[in-house]
Structures are given as structure tokens and as C-alpha cells.
Chain A
């Protein structure tokens, strides 16, 4: 689905998880000035996996452990609000965790 057609909620999170695709993620990332590389995908896939398994959108700490990517690196990969950015690009809901 193209970026123009995709629906997001008022805060910019994907409204319908079925709309997500890797292509869409790449387009969404570009909107935030992020170019997705291998390291980005490690993080995004970890976030999506945890969300699928637990039903709950994870915080950075869980993502960091699962993706085996240090917190410091995550802040470089997804600057300026990584918790929200990762969730938006990965097509998962806003994280409910405080960590």
C-alpha cells in the first residue's frame, strides 16, 4: 500500500497492522529522515516480534535486548524519540512501557 493511502491514527501510528510491509516501512522511515539499513531492520524486526508474541508494544529496553543492539546505538539509528519512531516505522502500536 502506498504511503498516501495508508491510514494512521491521530498520533501517526499505523491504524491497520495488515497495511504494513517492508516497503511501507522504508517509505515511513524516509518521512522521518531515516534510511533503513541492516542495523535498523534488526531493531524493527525485534520490536515486531515482541509485539506479535506478547501482544504488547515493547519499550526500548526489551527491543535492545532482543535485537542485541545497545541503547546508545538505538538512539543513533532512530534519533529524536526512538521509542515512538520505531513503533511508527515498524507498524506497531505506541509503546506502553516506561522503559
Chain B
């Protein structure tokens, strides 16, 4: 059996569109796992996902309990003042116990691991932000089409 040449290097594109504490992690964890396994990874932070890389919001993401079908707390209770904050604090503690880094540290780790982080131009315009509002690990601000071009041959995950 002949080999048609060296196999093309795998690459992963993760689109992060959610900004809640619970939905920030999946994209970051998947991209990190890709890097650990030698797969190139790039992330596109769009819409609420911009909160994950927004200097003002990155340390203050909240768990989403209301309108979340998996929520352990009934919606009427979850909407009461302080409940979401308490649940978020509990989740942070649990993450610490499992040695899962806080979002800011995770972003630094991803950058160190060689993942490329991008912000969405349209989302930035919508929220009236500039690249200076984002963490330094964000390489560039791109349009969706730019990101599509970069993702040629890549496996794309939308979160």
C-alpha cells in the first residue's frame, strides 16, 4: 500500500458565542486539549463570547441559572437577587478544588500553548468596544469571513 504523502496537520477552530461562566469553559478546554494533542487551535470570540476576553468582564462571568434547562435551581428561585452570584461562587470554589484555572489564567495558558485568539469585528462594533478593551492574548480582530478562510481544512466547533 503506498502512502500518498505526509498526513495533513489537524487543526481546530472554536467559535465562542456565549459569555456565561459555565459556557466559557467548554471552548477553552477543547482548544487546550487540541493543543496538548498537537492539533493547531484558533478561537473566535463573538457576541457574548467577547465577555470572555473583555478586560472588564473576564473576572466577573456569571453562571446562567435562569432559562437554562439543566439548571439545578427552579427558575423562580434562580431569578431572586443573589442566587446566581451564590451559585457562581460555589462553582468557582469547585473549579479551584479541581485545579481548573480561572478564565483569565486559562486564556494565558491557551496563549502559551500556541493557540491563536481572535475577536469578532462585528461584535466589537455592536458593543462599541475596541481591541484595547480586550485581553492582550487576543491576536487580532477579524471578520467572520477572515475566520472562515483561516479555518480551511479545520474542524469547527460552535459553542
A interface with B by C-beta (< 8 Å): 59-62, 70-72, 75, 80-85, 95, 98-99
Contacts and interface: CB of A to CB of B under 8 A. Distances in A.
B133 to A, nearest CB: 25
A75 B32 contact: no
B112 A99 contact: no
B114 A98 contact: no
B109 interface: yes
Interface stretch (B33-41, B59-67, B83-91, B119-127): B33-41
Contact of A80 (B29, B33, B38, B99): B38
Taking chain A's interface residues, is the majority helix, strand, or loop, or is none over half, making it mixed? helix
B79 interface: no
A83 B37 contact: yes
A78 B39 CA distance: 14
Contacts of A99: 29, 32, 99-101
A95 B32 CA distance: 14
Contacts of A81: 36-39
Contacts of A98: 29, 32-33
Nearest to B109: A71
Contacts of A59: 36
A80 B36 CA distance: 8
Contacts of A62: 99
Contacts of B101: 61, 99
A60 B36 contact: yes
25 contacts: A59-B36, A60-B36, A60-B113, A61-B99, A61-B101, A61-B109, A62-B99, A70-B112, A71-B113, A75-B35, A75-B112, A75-B114, A81-B36, A81-B37, A81-B38, A82-B36, A83-B37, A84-B36, A84-B38, A95-B36, A98-B29, A98-B32, A99-B29, A99-B32, A99-B101
Contacts of B29: 98-99
Contacts of A71: 109, 112-113
Given A75-B35, A75-B114, 20 more contacts: A59-B36, A60-B36, A60-B113, A61-B101, A70-B112, A71-B109, A72-B112, A72-B113, A75-B112, A80-B38, A81-B37, A81-B38, A82-B36, A83-B36, A84-B37, A85-B38, A95-B36, A98-B29, A99-B32, A99-B100
